Amino acid sequence: MTPRLEGKVALVTGSGRGIGRAIALKLASEGARIVVNDLDEAPAAEAVQAIRDAGGEAVACVGNVSATDFAERFVGTAVDHFQGLDIVVNNAGYTWDNVIQKMSDEQWYAMLDCHLTAPFRILRAAQPVIRALGKAELADGRRVVRKVVNISSVAGLFGNAGQANYAAAKAGIVGLTQTLAKEWGRLNVTVNAVAYGFIKTRLTVSAKDGDTAHIDGRDIKVGVNPELMAAMERSIPLGRGGTPEEAAGAVYLLCIPESDYVSGQTLMCSGGLTGI
């Protein structure tokens, strides 16, 4: 059987670790050629090697998605190495929580920059490439459907205490998704979002005192209080948090040809959780 994404070129931000890595591996397993991104060189290189070891093709574009020059460099990597661009997955992200009266401007803008401005810039940089490729294909009598999948969250749909910054950014990505679905339909591009619930990654595992992740030049406390995590899992109808591989499956559904007439939608991947 021919792989579902044979020959496609996919950009996946934040794909050196966690959900992004699982997405990159899943798309690669179905034939896509991947541009892997991570803040740090080591995890990006490891993900690239894992894809190559499995028989796939991948290159790395290391860097901070919030950097003003990142989008052009990321898109350029796909064009330079693979001469194409078919799938864009805006996945990179993290949380930096606080109640609103204690939230600094730095915390607020860090979440908007990473979760909303960075995807905007990447898609803006991708548009001329996608337009030119589509025009050439139509002149050749071919119609190719391309895919954008933006990652949102149930926090963006329903809000979440302590996450005004993150929830606002993730709500914004839904608006960006719906707008680009209208703008890019004429380019034969579907634009959808996946809203995750509780997915178990290094950023959501049980917290220990002092556990931090070095993100964007800052040491951010990571993890979830074990009691809170247990309560969260009890509230999920399926009774557990999701795995990165299950999270990747939701993105995959919106990248395959069977979803070519699905656009402007937000798919919840939350184990049945419909609120917070």
Is a pLDDT exceeding 80 seen at residue 206?
no
Report, as an integer, the average pLDDT of 258-270. 98
CB of 35 closer than 8 Å to CB of 87: no
Report, as an integer, the average pLDDT of 8-18. 98
pLDDT tens digits, residue range 228-240?
Answer: 677 788 899 999 9
Residue 217: per-residue pLDDT: 75
- The residue with greater pLDDT, 206 or 211, is 211
* Catalytic residue IDs: 166
Domains along the chain with CATH numbers: 9-198+241-269 (3.40.50.720)
| Burial (CB count within 10 angstroms: exposed 0-12, middle 13-18, buried 19+), residue 188 | middle
The token pair at 65 is 């998605």
pLDDT tens digits, residue range 75-107?
Answer: 999 999 999 999 999 999 999 999 999 999 999
Output DSSP code: residue 172. H
Q: How many CB atoms lie within 10 A of CB 127?
A: 16
Report, as an integer, the average pLDDT of 1-19. 96
Residue 275: per-residue pLDDT: 78
Looking at the DSSP assignment, which residues form a beta bridge with residue 224?
A: 206
Please state the pTM of the whole predicted model: 0.94
3-state helix, strand, coil in the chain (%, to 5): 45, 20, 35
What is the C-alpha to C-alpha distance for residues 276 and 274, in angstroms, rounded to an integer? Answer: 7
- The residue with greater pLDDT, 200 or 10, is 10
| pLDDT confidence band for 256 (50 / 70 / 90) | very high
Report, as an integer, the average pLDDT of 26-38. 98
CB of 14 closer than 8 Å to CB of 66: no
Report, as an integer, the average pLDDT of 143-166. 96
Looking at the DSSP assignment, which residues form a beta bridge with residue 221?
A: 212
Residue 237: per-residue pLDDT: 95
